[in-house]
A and B are shown apart, each in its own frame.
Chain A
């Protein structure tokens, strides 16, 4: 699954922060502790120096017991025998606090009036421990605040930073080349985004221009063909009036006449399609669908009669739609004529109105049609027929510009085209 860009950066930050926290906390703790112990050791050694410099030379036997009595943490003993400086951890029971407390202790040999003694001094580490704890907590707190702060700031910052990007993304997503809606990009002071916007804007503009000229070309071409077609038609009309045409010439004339009429229809339908694309039919009215079907029913019945078709209608559930009246009529006519054209001799057509849905069903070839090509321009199920191959693509286009859906399905030997309004 795709993750959002923001999540990706945030996740990286989060992992990094947690990792740093986990690694740095013990390192910090131990290094602080070591520093503190070193500090204690230095103090003890300094005291030793002081003792040797100032006290040792004047100390007498009898002073030892007095010394020991008044110095809680520095004793002169004869019992222990050490040969040089020894530093170690020890613990003693503290009568005041009534608990065993950790100490750092220094023992070293001295001689008082020529006799060997051991000087031992200790420093209580309880305070150190507390201090260390406090420092660790503080450190932890600071680093957490820092990291989380960093995390949220980055998140917020990226959110702000990427905002133009998301806006651009939205613009691109909503862009449709055949709709006239202008995309406008939000100004941004980030160079990359502004470059992105300009290049997309350029891309869109260029494509729109190409698309427009393409559309205009089709419309102009179709339009320009009208006059020569009119001349063509008029000449054939004149020619068929001649009384001296032979059978052979007459056959050519029939074929010419049929084809100019087909060319004419093709051109008219192309014009209709390109006009739809140029929004020439944008004014809408409220229309009763069944009225529109009834209106031209005579015409369609007449067309159906040639094939002895039965037309069944279920128009009880009439509803109104909003559409351009010309297009609504074209839509219905095309669906109707399509159902007639592809029907079998003596077949049937049923027109049903359901909830927001108009369905034209007809008999026809005994297999489903190729839905990929069905609504494409100039795609014909039977290439030899006289049709323009534009009927269903016009239906599709009308549905498209009105935001309706066209569906095709084949069931029980019936081809159904439904328009979902």
Chain B
């Protein structure tokens, strides 16, 4: 999978690049709009991560350029701007997702994965991990071909964990992922524990492996045994 990261903040870009590269993505990084447009015109990408505020112009210009060139790349805007107007304008110009800074790298990763899944959708949309199969569209989970009773939130959590395989996910990152817009107001992340516990139990009961590991006091990690 090939990604293009357009971001002028070096430190952030390096972290993103590293996190995604480790996940088998090829992540190219450019710092300004001009190089970005040059790259887009020549190469094809699976996904573009776009910062709106760039030293030589507005990220929206890149969106317009992509539209003009009839490019169909998936685009995730990553921006510190979070007004409704910017969001709407971004979506109108063809962006697929919008992530406000600051965000967790794990969150960015699952968004990229989800976007690529949507883009490459060919009739079925199934995420598999060993004996676990998640049908994204019908919101159903099968373990060893047996359907298990699971809530939407738990599926969300499962996808998040599997997507970030072998990564330590902090409690706050999981909480923010699960609470969405509510995250800014939520200062107690204890509910994560209950969700993890429930999910773990359901998977174990269905005979799946024990993939969810606790990491010190930091959080959790999905790990193939």
Contact = CB atoms under 8 A, between A and B. Distances in A.
A227 B174 CA distance: 21
B106 A237 contact: yes
Contacts of A306: 188, 190-191, 194
Contacts of B103: 230, 233
A388 B182 CA distance: 14
B102 interface: yes
Interface in A370-387: 385-387
Contacts, number: 125
Interface of B: 9, 11-12, 15-16, 18-19, 80-84, 100-106, 153, 167-168, 170, 172-173, 176, 179, 181-191, 194, 215-219
B182 A296 contact: yes
B216 A250 contact: yes
Nearest to A247: B216
Given A234-B15, A237-B104, A299-B179, A227 B184 contact: no
What 8 A-B pairs have minimum CB-CB distances, sorted nearest first?
A: A230-B102, A226-B80, A234-B15, A230-B101, A261-B172, A268-B184, A229-B102, A233-B102
A412 interface: no
Interface of A: 223, 226-227, 229-238, 240-241, 245, 247, 250-251, 253-254, 257-258, 260-262, 264-265, 268-269, 271-272, 275, 280, 296, 298-299, 302-303, 305-306, 326, 329-330, 333-334, 337, 340-341, 385-388, 391
Contacts of A296: 182
Given A237-B19, A337-B185, A326 B84 contact: yes
B82 A271 contact: yes
Contacts of A265: 183-187
Given A227-B101, A253-B218, A305-B194, 13 more contacts: A227-B102, A230-B12, A231-B15, A235-B15, A237-B15, A240-B170, A241-B168, A245-B216, A265-B185, A272-B184, A306-B191, A341-B187, A387-B187
Contacts of B218: 240, 250, 253-254, 257
Contacts of B182: 296, 299, 333
Contact of B217 (A254, A261, A268, A334): A254
B9 A230 contact: yes
Contact of B172 (A223, A258, A275, A303): A258
A39 to B, nearest CB: 97
- Of residues A223, A229, A238, A298, which shows the largest number of chain B Cβ atoms within 10 Å of its Cβ? A238
A238 B190 contact: no
Contacts of A236: 170
A226 B102 contact: yes
Contacts of A280: 83
Nearest to B168: A240
Nearest to B181: A329
